Amino acid sequence: MSEKTHRSGFINIIGRPNVGKSTLMNALVGERMSIITNKPQTTRHRIIGILSGDDFQMVFSDTPGIIGEPLYKMQEAMNRFVESSFEDADILLFVTDVTEKYTEDDPVFEKIKRVNCPKFLIINKTDLATPDRILPLIKWWNDRIAFDETIPTSALNQKNTETLFKLLLEKLPEGPAYYPKDQLTDRPERFFVSEIIREKILELYHQEVPYSTEVVVESFKETTTKSGEPLVRIDAEIFVMRDSQKPILIGKNGTAIKRLGTEARKAIEQWLEQKVFLELHVKVRDNWRDDEKWLSRFGYKG
C-alpha cells in the first residue's frame, strides 16, 4: 500500500500597509501570530505562522507593508523583508483591498509578474463594498496580471478564508514537513510578548511616538506565586528616539505608562494563558531607526 502524498510549501503574503495581511494570516493559521491595529506599518518583521495537518504543512509568511520611498534605514530593512518574500515563495498571496488605488506604473506589477510560483489575488475588506464595486476591481487586476486564483475576502469576518485554504491546499507542491507538526511559528515567546507591548503602544499613543518606539524583552522567567500559582515575570525595555518622547510615553505622574502596563499585561496573560508580572522601562536611543548597530540588535537584519 503506497504512502499518502504529503504537501508542503511557503506561502508568502505581500501588499501595502494596512490592507489586512496580518488579519488574513491569523485567520488562516487559527492563532494570533501577528499584531493588528488600525495604524499603517504595524508589522515590521517577517513573521512565520505554521498550519499543519496529517498530509500537509503550510508555512505562511506575513510581511511588512510595501513602502514606496523608505524614509530611514528601518524602513529599508522592512522593504528587504518584502523583497525576499518575492523570491522564496511556493505560493504568493498579493493582498489589496476594496479602497486601494494603484496605477499601472507601480513597481509591484513587474515584481508580481516575474514570480514563477502560483499567484493569488486577495481582495480584502469586501464587507466595506458592494458587488458592483468588487467585480470591476477583480477585472481590473486580472486584465493586468495573470493571477492563478482571485479570492474576494473579509479576513476580519473570515469570509472565504475556508475557500482560500482549499485552493492553497490544491496548489501546494509535494514535499516534507519543514517544521515539527506541533510547531506554530519560528519565533520565541519573547518576540510575541514584545509585539503585544508594541501593539498597545500603537493603540494608546498618537502621532510620531508609536513609530519611534521599539520593544525588547530583557527577561522572561517562569516562576510561581507564593500560593504556588504559575507566574511569568517579564522585564521589557521600550526604546524611543528622542528625550522629548520619554515623558510622553510615561505621562504625568506615570499615568500613561501604568495604563500601558495594565493593557499589555492583560493581553499577554490572555495570550500565555497564565498570570503575568510585567515591568516596563523607557530608554532613549537617539535616532535608532537610522543606526545600524541598534537596528541589528532589534532584529532588522539583511
Q: Is 181 inside any structural domain? A: no
> Residue 203 is part of a domain; what is its CATH number?
3.30.300.20
pLDDT tens, position by position, 98-147 = 999 888 888 889 999 999 999 999 999 999 998 899 999 999 999 999 99
- Given pLDDT bands bounded at 50, 70 and 90, which one contains residue 41? confident
Q: Is 114 inside any structural domain? A: yes
Residue listed under C-alpha cell 475588506: 125
- Whether the per-residue pLDDT at 32 is higher than 80: the answer is no
- Whether the per-residue pLDDT at 257 is higher than 80: the answer is yes
Mean pLDDT of 19-48: 83
Same domain, 126 and 30: yes
User: What is the C-alpha to C-alpha distance for residues 129 and 153, in angstroms, rounded to an integer?
Assistant: 11
Same domain, 166 and 126: yes
Among 171, 199, 234, give the residue marking a domain's end: 171
Please give the pLDDT value at position 275: 95
pLDDT tens, position by position, 219-240 = 999 999 888 899 999 999 999 9
Contact by Cβ (8 Å): 96, 102: yes
**210: domain range?**
189-297
pTM for this structure? 0.88
How many separate domains does the chain show?
2
Same domain, 166 and 200: no
Alpha-carbon separation of residue 234 from 210, 214, 225, 229 (angstroms): 21, 16, 14, 16
Same domain, 19 and 165: yes
Radius of gyration of the chain (CA): 21
Same domain, 99 and 161: yes
User: What is the C-alpha to C-alpha distance for residues 131 and 127, in angstroms, rounded to an integer?
Assistant: 10
Same domain, 159 and 243: no
Among 171, 206, 230, give the residue marking a domain's end: 171
Mean confidence (pLDDT) of the chain: 92
Torsion of CA 25, 31, 34, 35, to 10 degrees: 120
Same domain, 148 and 49: yes
